[in-house]
């Protein structure tokens, strides 16, 4: 059995790490380079860096900051935000990213998934899906959750897998920042539907929430931000807790 992964997420705006609730009311959470080093040193399995305003501001990802973070960590490093071409991917990989994450650009140009997977491999290709449950139906949202679409979460997840994505980063907008737990029902449905790994995102508030994402939600990895940024949960403590629950985890 593959070990489950714990992944801190750095949401970046104006060069700083930020965190909000339901994608709104962003607050400063610290220096991304310092946070990245702390997480790598304390046992995070991977790190995700999302330049959350790049798409909205129609610019490319902050390359200098990516390079600085990459130089301080020795764990797999995924970068997303403002990626719309294969050339963008090439620049990020050359500046220290191990994987890239595409979201809005994948919906607008689904063939981009095929192109990236063909050139760099599925293991490098993460598709992030931000979805909101509206009247019982999970709908995909774009541009940092600001633009709703008619696309259904489960249909899009199936297409993403078929086009060559190696992993899906699913964020529940309903759960994001609430600290009430992950969207485990939707996660379990995704897990039953597709064969590629799923990263759970949105809602972590306690160690038990991580355990439930892995057991009830069947997620392969759990991503969180504020509980780590504000020192509410320490990664070594979380991993010991999960091990005690008989969840396969790398200590």
Residues known to be catalytic: 11, 130
Which of 161, 131, 168 is closest to 48 using CA atoms? Answer: 168
Task: Provide the CB-side half-sphere exposure for 103 (13 A, CA).
Answer: 28
* Angle 125-129-134 from CA coordinates, rounded to 5°: 165
Contact between 182 and 175 (Cβ < 8 Å): yes
- Any idea of the CA torsion for 24, 29, 33, 35, to the nearest 10 degrees? -120
165: how many CB neighbours lie within 10 A of its CB? 28
- How does 84-94 read in b/e, with b if 16+ C-beta sit within 10 Å? beeebbeebee
Rg of the chain on CA atoms, in Å: 16
């Amino acid at each position: 059995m593959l070990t489950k992964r714990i992944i801190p997420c750095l949401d970046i705006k104006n060069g700083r790490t930020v965190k909000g609730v339901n994608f709104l009311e962003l607050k400063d959470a610290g220096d991304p380079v310092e946070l990245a080093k702390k997480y790598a040193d304390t046992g995070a399995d991977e790190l995700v860096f999302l330049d959350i305003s790049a798409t909205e501001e129609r610019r490319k990802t902050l390359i200098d900051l990516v390079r600085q973070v990459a130089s301080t960590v020795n764990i797999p490093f995924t970068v997303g935000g403002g990626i719309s071409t294969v050339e963008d991917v090439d620049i990020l990989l050359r500046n220290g990213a191990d994987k890239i994450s595409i979201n809005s650009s994948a919906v607008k140009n689904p063939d981009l998934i095929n192109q990236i997977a063909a050139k760099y491999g599925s293991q490098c290709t993460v598709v992030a899906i931000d979805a909101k449950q509206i009247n019982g139906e999970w709908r995909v949202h774009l541009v940092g959750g600001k633009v709703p679409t008619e696309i259904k979460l489960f249909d899009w997840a199936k297409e993403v897998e078929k086009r060559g994505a190696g992993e899906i980063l699913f964020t529940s907008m309903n759960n994001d920042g609430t600290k009430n737990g992950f969207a485990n029902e939707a996660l379990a449905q995704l897990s039953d539907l597709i064969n590629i790994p799923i990263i759970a995102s949105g809602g972590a508030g306690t160690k038990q929430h991580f355990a439930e994402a892995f057991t009830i939600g069947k997620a392969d990895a759990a991503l969180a931000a504020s509980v780590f940024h504000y020192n509410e949960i320490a990664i070594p403590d979380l991993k010991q807790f999960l091990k005690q629950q008989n969840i396969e985890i790398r200590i």
